[in-house]
Amino acid sequence: MPQEVGKQYKELLQQYIDNRNEEDLYFGQQFSRQFIEKKIAPEDVISIHKTALAEVFPDLPEKVMYSFDFLIEMMIHYGLALREHQSLIRKQEEIQMEINVAAKVQDTLLKTKIPDFEGIDIGFITEPAKKMNGDYVYFLNDDNNVASVALADVMGKGIPAALCMSMIKFGMDSLQGENTSPRNVLDIVNRIVEKSVDDSMFISMFYGKYDARDSSFSYASAGHEPALIYRASEGGFTELDAKGLLLGVQPDVDYEERSVMLEVGDFIVMMTDGVTEVRTETGFIDEGLIKSILLEVKEESAQSIADTVYNRLLELQNFHLRDDFTIIIFKKENDLV
C-alpha cells in the first residue's frame, strides 16, 4: 500500500515541479485526504516525500536528504497528537451512540397513557426546548374511577435528569391503594430523591388525583408552579396552591394536601415554568395572558385547549422555546352521555 501511494505521490510531485500550476497543487491537496483515510502518519508523509524526491532528483546533495530525517523526527509528536485526536473522536462517537440508546430507553420507559374514562376529559402537551425533556408527565389510573397525574420539572437536563425521572416513575409505581394520596406520594418520592440526587439538583412536582365518584380533585405540590382552576359558574380562575418544599432538598417535608370539587365545565390547568415564565423581547409575559387565552377556548376539548395555549405562546417567542413547555388540562365533562 505505501508503495502504491508513494508512486502516485511521486507522479504528482513531478508534475507540479515541471508545470507549477494551481491545478496540480489542488490535486495534491485532494490526495492528502487519501493519506488521512489510509491513516498515513505525518512522519510517513515526509518519508514518502523524501523517497519521491530522491527518485525525481537523483543528484540532490546528501546533506539536503539528511535534513528530511531531521524533519521526520520533528513530525513524530504531531503524529501521536493526531492519533490521540482520532481515538477521542471514536470515543465521542461511541458515547453519542450510547446517549442515543439511553434517550430511546427513556422514551420507552417513561411512556405514559392518558387515562380514558367517562366524566373527565384529559389533554396535555409537553415539548422540550432541546433534545431531551426536563419536564415529566406521568399518568396513573388504577381503576375506572381515579385518574392521577404527576407533573415534574427536573432542574438540569440530559442523562442525570432522565435518571431522576425513572426514579420518580418507579417510586410512584410502587405505591398502591390508600398510599396514593397526593401528600403521601410526594413524601415517598421526596425521600427517594433526597437520598439519590446531587446537591445542586432538585425537582419540582405537582401531583393531582381526580376521583370520578365524587368529582373531587385532590392535589399537593412540591415547590411547583400553582395550578389554575376555571370555574364555569363564576367565569374566572382561582390558583390551586399548596405548601410544600421542592423534592430533594431535605428528607422530612410535610406536604399540604388540598381538594376541590369540579362541576361540569370546570377545568384544571397544570403547567411548568416554561409556560408561566415565557420571556419575549419586551420581557416576561403578563400572567393574565394565559388566562385570557384559556378563556377564549374554554368550551373546547382538553387537548385543544392545551394545544392552543402552546401554539399561541410559541408564536410569542418567535417559534423558539427557551424552556421545556408542559401544560395539562383536566376538564369535567357532562355526566349525561
Partner 1 sequence: MNLQVELLEENSVQRFKIVGEIDAFTAPKLKEKLAAVEKVVGMQAEVDLSEVGYMDSTGLGVFVGFYKAVKANEGHVKIIGVNKRLKRLFEITGLEQVMDIVMEESRDADATV
d(CA 327, CA 275): 7
Q: Which three cell numbers stand for residue 279?
A: 420571556
From the list 155, 285, 295, 316, which residue makes contact with partner 1 (rule: CB under 8 A)? Answer: 155
Per rule CB under 8 A, count of chain residues that contact partner 1? 26
| Nearest distance from C-beta of residue 151 to partner 1, angstroms | 14
Q: Using the Cα atoms of residue 92, residue 96, residue 97 and residue 101 in order, give the sign of their dihedral.
A: positive
| Nearest distance from C-beta of residue 295 to partner 1, angstroms | 23
Encode 295-319: b = buried (16+ Cβ within 10 Å), e = exposed.
Answer: eeeeebebbebbbbbbebbeeebee
Q: Does 153 bind partner 1 (CB under 8 A)?
A: yes
- Nearer to partner 1 by Cβ, of 185 and 222: the residue is 222
Residue 236, helix vs strand vs coil: strand
| Nearest distance from C-beta of residue 222 to partner 1, angstroms | 7
Q: Does 24 bind partner 1 (CB under 8 A)?
A: no
Q: Does 165 bind partner 1 (CB under 8 A)?
A: no
Q: Does 128 bind partner 1 (CB under 8 A)?
A: no
Which residues, 6+ apart, have CB-to-CB distance to 291 below 8 Å?
Answer: 228, 237
Asked if 149 and 270 touch (Cβ cutoff 8 Å), the reply is: yes
| Nearest distance from C-beta of residue 284 to partner 1, angstroms | 8
Q: How far, rounded to the nearest angstrom, does the alpha carbon of residue 303 sit from its chain's CA centroid?
A: 23
Q: Does 135 bind partner 1 (CB under 8 A)?
A: no
- Nearer to partner 1 by Cβ, of 107 and 239: the residue is 239
Interface characters, 255-294, with partner 1 (x: CB under 8 A): ------------------x---x------x----------
Asked if 266 and 218 touch (Cβ cutoff 8 Å), the reply is: no
d(CA 185, CA 312): 33
From the list 52, 137, 172, 245, which residue makes contact with partner 1 (rule: CB under 8 A)? Answer: 245
Using CB under 8 A as the criterion, which residues of the chain lie in contact with partner 1 when the complex forms?
A: 153, 155-156, 198-202, 204, 222-226, 241, 243-246, 249-250, 253, 273, 277, 284, 323
